[in-house]
Amino acid sequence: MGYSSVSDMRNFVAEDTALTWHLQANHYPPINLAFLPMATEALAHARAGEWEATVDFPAGARRAGQSVAISEVVKELHLEAFLEEEGD
């Protein structure tokens, strides 16, 4: 599982489906889907090279409303495989 599973899955399903699976099945404990919009926004910023941009933690999170750098979101949610070109 992990990085290679995400890379493979991205070739067959929509990114939001792969991201949902990744947060729920590729982490223990699973990451609450309230983080899905945060992850999606972080990926958009990362792809644009905006690594110092920030996103806010979702409502209900321990750090709700606090901002975190895109680089930290990518690292903590293990989103690196989503930044690879499809088919890599």
pLDDT in tens for each of the 88 residues of the chain? 466 666 677 778 899 999 999 999 989 999 999 999 999 999 999 999 999 999 999 998 889 999 999 999 999 999 999 998 754 4
- Find residue 68's DSSP bridge partners: 55
pTM of the model: 0.86
> Cβ contacts of residue 22 below 8 Å, gap of 6+?
6, 9, 78, 79, 81, 82
Q: Are 35 and 69 in contact (CB under 8 A)?
A: no
- Find residue 69's DSSP bridge partners: 54
Domain ranges, ordered by start, for the chain: 3-83
